Amino acid sequence: MADETRAGTSTDRNNNTSLERQIYSFPGKTKSKVWDYFGFYKVKDRPASKHTLDMSQAICRKCGEKYANKGNTTNFRYHIETEHELGIPEKKSESKSKQTGQTSMDPFINNPTSGKISSQRQEQIDDALCKFIAGKVIPVSVVDNQLFRAFIALLDPRYKVPSRATVMRKLERKKLEIDEKIKEDVKSAPFVSITHDGWTSLNTESYFTTTIHFISDTWMLNNAVLGTIQLKGSHTSENIAAELKATQTKWNFPTPIATTTNAANERKAYEINKWERFGCLGHKINLVVKNSLGVSDLGKLLGKARKMVTFSHQSSSITDLFLEKQKVIFSGQSEQ
């Protein structure tokens, strides 16, 4: 079904006003009937495609309700069936499986009698595996773990766990895809802000991380970590300013407004680049607390507390005694 024939307006369920923006159909081929009821807003003035539509949000054509589009249509189907009381016809593959007494967990799975997994299903699980590894910062070596492989085999014995090298290639390819998408999204943002901070690792290596924040054409707040980069040399204002300029050139974003720590070298770096900056409120509160701990009377009290902690750690019996005394104090009971 052509995009333009399915384009239309929706009604905002929150204020019952008619939205002027058109809703375009899912670009490309799709078997799910859900997309007869959901579509996407266009964010670029070019023919509808995955590059010109906001694919991160699906819009209900009936009421204008928005849902995050994460590749699963369960929420969309539930919305249509409960909010609008409309039944969505089952796909042929699902009806056929019920008639034969077989169940299909996913439309990408081949006929179960073949004993093989489809290439689409393999790719789908590979992609989910990569998201799991990257999202939870799991070592790639997990794919070589026998217990992990046994767990996956129990879930779907047809799925072949990729090798470590294959996962690395997929992760690198996914990184490049995300990089290009971020660059494309940033192009449409006339104003951006960044947050920036640096630290030193246990191996005495200096790093800094830059995160970008901007509002899209559809008034969605977006943010992305542009990278954690090793800063060679000392943390001088000049080095920080040069690395910030290099980051701006790589990602091609306009002159930003920044939020950083209140360190002198950070403040000076933004003066060098002539970028407007604001100090981090959390860091200011931290500095206030540090200064307050320097009061002499408070310092004496903290010294006694440290001695008490050190004494309680000398043995488990002393710790148990402290716990008993605490229970007595907090319960309001007096010792006999």
**Cross-strand bridge partners of residue 264:** none
pLDDT of residue 95: 46
| Cα distances (angstroms) measured from residue 65 to each of 10, 23, 39, 86 | 9, 12, 11, 15
**Cross-strand bridge partners of residue 193:** 213, 257
Q: How far apart are CA 162 and CA 168, in angstroms?
A: 10
pLDDT of residue 335: 52
pLDDT digits (tens, 9 = 90+) for 290-322: 888 878 788 888 888 888 888 888 888 888 888
> Cβ contacts of residue 220 below 8 Å, gap of 6+?
54, 56, 57
Q: How far apart are CA 169 and CA 171, in angstroms?
A: 5
Confidence of residue 34 (pLDDT cuts 50, 70, 90): confident
pTM for the model stands at 0.53
| Cα distances (angstroms) measured from residue 268 to each of 86, 89, 226 | 61, 63, 22
What is the phi/psi pair of residue 44, to 5°?
A: -135, 140
Mapped onto helix, strand or coil, the DSSP state of residue 230 is strand
Q: How far apart are CA 215 and CA 194, in angstroms?
A: 12
DSSP secondary structure letters along 169-226: HHHHHHHHHHHHHHHHHHHT-S--EEEEEEEE-TTS-EEEEEEEEEE-TTS-EEEEEE
6-20, 37-51, 120-134, 248-262: range with lowest mean pLDDT: 6-20
> Cβ contacts of residue 214 below 8 Å, gap of 6+?
185, 186, 189, 191, 192, 193, 221, 222, 223
Residues carrying CATH 3.30.420, the chain: 188-286
Average pLDDT over residues 21-33: 83
pLDDT digits (tens, 9 = 90+) for 141-175: 999 999 999 999 999 999 999 999 999 999 999 99
Mean pLDDT across the chain: 82
Confidence of residue 89 (pLDDT cuts 50, 70, 90): low
pLDDT of residue 97: 44
Using the predicted structure, report yes or no on whether residue 241 has a pLDDT greater than 50: yes
The helix (run of H) or strand (run of E) holding residue 146 is: helix 146-155
* Residue of 1, 4, 60, 6 whose CA lies nearest to 34: 60
> What is the domain class of 188-286 according to CATH?
alpha beta
Q: How far apart are CA 166 and CA 147, in angstroms?
A: 19
Average pLDDT over residues 117-126: 92
